[in-house]
Structure 1
């Protein structure tokens, strides 16, 4: 990571600089981040118990909760919102992120989770990904750490915004 920018090297666009995120993200993404931040208060991160689904109604269809298990590290989808399920064409609840993540491959998604878990900080990413129905979508996601003890990340909550971009044409 370039410490001055919060931007990580490579082709995959991601940052831990939430001011940079605020400049480019959709209003709902920023509002969800601000909700999480408010729940953290003076702590580095809130716990899952701090999040109130009744307060989160406007974001629920785009949210995922991922359980974090260590030794060895496993990331398991606990809850997946209906927009996230529709994008995949199935509900990955109970499956590992390594086998059900969105995008070209799982290494970028797993890289995001590693930053959130190991550095205990939010990650924002944006990209274009293929939709199962044959078109590209613009995607942005903020991944936020949760901790029951204030130290160890035991869950990650994500909010992902998806918009159609353009059709993919068969180049045969």
Structure 2
């Protein structure tokens, strides 16, 4: 009888993730729609609060792709992120559901700092960030994505949550 537990299959790590400008995201993409939704939650230049984000007002086409993370601030100033919500399409896209877990626990060691840094940029800049990437998947080699990260701040200034979206994009490697 075969013993599959004797074999460890290493899943690929993040293949690439590159920061891009909003203008590089297709206007008709769900990532652009998520940005317009986020921007409509509070008047510019304010940062929307978590209380502004209510699932019942989210456009139905983007809701399954969204994820929501709490910003966890360590005494030494380091940041981590706890997944609070992960839409069903996002779970299917990456092949797992990280709700309740810290980002530092979810990502492979080789990708951890890189991914946390991409979240940190959104917190530090207090502005949305946009990314194009090729990420690993549990069942297929990789998925090409558009990703947007949108800050939320209960006091309208200090980012305490990130609303994000990751959606498939065509197979090209550059936007």
Is the shorter-chain TM-score for this pair beyond 0.5, marking a shared fold? yes
Q: Does 1:14 align with 2:16?
A: no
CA distance in 1, matches of 2:96, 2:115: 18
CA distance in 2, matches of 1:107, 1:66: 17
Unaligned segments of structure 2, at least 5 residues: 1-15
Secondary structure of 2:39's aligned partner: helix
Contact 2:84 2:99 in 1 (8 A): yes
Secondary structure of 2:158's aligned partner: coil
Which residue pairs with 2:82 in the alignment? 76
When normalised by structure 1's length, the TM-score is 0.78
What is the RMSD of the two structures over their aligned residues, measured on CA atoms?
2.3
- Residue 101 of structure 1, CA deviation: 4.2
Secondary structure of 2:156's aligned partner: coil
Greater RCO structure (CA 8 Å; 6+ sep): 2
Which residue pairs with 2:144 in the alignment? 138
Decide which of 90, 112, 121 is 2:127's aligned counterpart: 121
- Residue 44 of structure 1, CA deviation: 2.7
After TM superposition, which residue ranges in structure 1, 4 or more long, deviate above 3 angstroms?
163-166
Contact 2:71 2:160 in 1 (8 A): yes
When normalised by structure 2's length, the TM-score is 0.77
Change (3 A) 1:90 1:137: closer
Cα deviations by residue, 1:91-138 (Å, 9 ceiling, x for unpaired): 111111122149x72233212111111110111001112221123211
Q: Does 1:111 align with 2:111?
A: no
Which residue pairs with 2:68 in the alignment? 65
Contact 1:146 1:153 in 2 (8 A): yes
Decide which of 150, 156, 166 is 2:156's aligned counterpart: 150
Out of 149-158 and 87-96, give the one that drifted further. Answer: 87-96
Contact 2:131 2:147 in 1 (8 A): yes
Q: Does 1:40 align with 2:50?
A: no
Contact 1:79 1:93 in 2 (8 A): yes
